[in-house]
Amino acid sequence: MGSKAPFMRVVIVNYDSGGLLQACVDALTRQTFADFEAVIVDNASQDGSIEALRLPDERFRTLRAGANLGFAAASNLGAQGCQAAWICMLNPDTEPSATWLEELRAATERHPTARLFGSTQIDAAHPELVDGFGDVYSIFGTAWRGASASPVALLPKEDREVFAPCAAGALYARDIFAAAGGFDESFFCYLEDIDLGFRLRLRGEHCVQVRKAELAHVGSAIAGRNSDFFVWHSQRNRIWVMVKNIPSPLVWLVLLLQIGVLPLTVLRRGPGQWISAFKGAMAGIKALPQALKGRRQVQRERAIGSGEVARLLVWNPLQALRRAPHFLEKTRTS
């Protein structure tokens, strides 16, 4: 590939992804934008997916983690030593459209002050529906993928500012990713992208959701969207995101709201998952000293005020309960 660094590095974290991994890599070979390298980090898969993987050319390489490090640590490992200006996270259960990377690259020129970009995720099983259009965060300490299960036809026609990108297909400027320390590895997996996006927002960064950068996403194809593993980690990590990132005085309102919200987030899981949700919440509370230590560092690095943070959040309780679509009215990144 020569001595010149590529424009971006694509990092794919694999764990028992089966044939989805090959389909994802094959989709990268069809990209109209070719100035990238790809690192596939394998978290000690047991299904033979990494052994069966066929790498198309010298732009692609595999990196064996040696153990299941989780998504956060494996993503950081895949980003190590990157000389490209941009780092792109891509889930193995996605198939990017042929122009996906080209649209992301063009967006960096269209929005020169933005250094965070998200992809338009289409439901792989129901391509008329949205899987996600940016990550949303509420004053109630809850997060979800924007516009999930909404008709694609109802999405904005142009790029929009959103709270944060979903790491299933997110583009980060390498310098801000490195300065923030990448993903918080204590999260293991789930909501680590919300946490990183929140921390970068607090540092004054903006996030653009790129409408035409589309990828098909299976979604929770490996762990399962309603598995005990997913529920436990999501509930634990939700508490950590909240404690680490929400600035004063907003944090006092959020903590007060948790009197009602925390039991609700457990009970809404349904009888079969109450125990996992409760145990996850307790694990999050038990590890509060660690989260508070992280909070001190995050808040020291904060470059925006509570008023600006408040603008980014959903305040309507019905929107939060329904996990409704939420796009920020103003895009200030051009």
* Structure confidence by residue, pLDDT tens digits, 126-154: 999 999 999 999 999 999 999 999 999 99
* Whole-number pLDDT of residue 1: 46
Class of domain 1-334: alpha beta
- Give mean pLDDT, residues 72-81: 98
Phi, psi of 96 (to 5 degrees): -70, 145
Can you read off the two tokens belonging to residue 239?
């508490």
- Does residue 322 surpass a pLDDT of 90? no
C-beta of residue 78 within 8 angstroms of C-beta of residue 68: no
Can you read off the two tokens belonging to residue 39?
């690192």
Cα 197-202-206 angle, rounded to 5 deg: 60
Can you read off the two tokens belonging to residue 181?
């320390």
DSSP single-letter state for residue 53: P
- Give mean pLDDT, residues 254-258: 94
* Whole-number pLDDT of residue 264: 84
Q: What pLDDT digit, counting tens, does each position of 162-184 carry?
A: 999 999 999 999 999 999 999 99
Mapping DSSP to helix (H, G, I), strand (E, B) and coil, where does residue 212 land? Answer: strand
- Give mean pLDDT, residues 108-112: 97
* Whole-number pLDDT of residue 2: 52
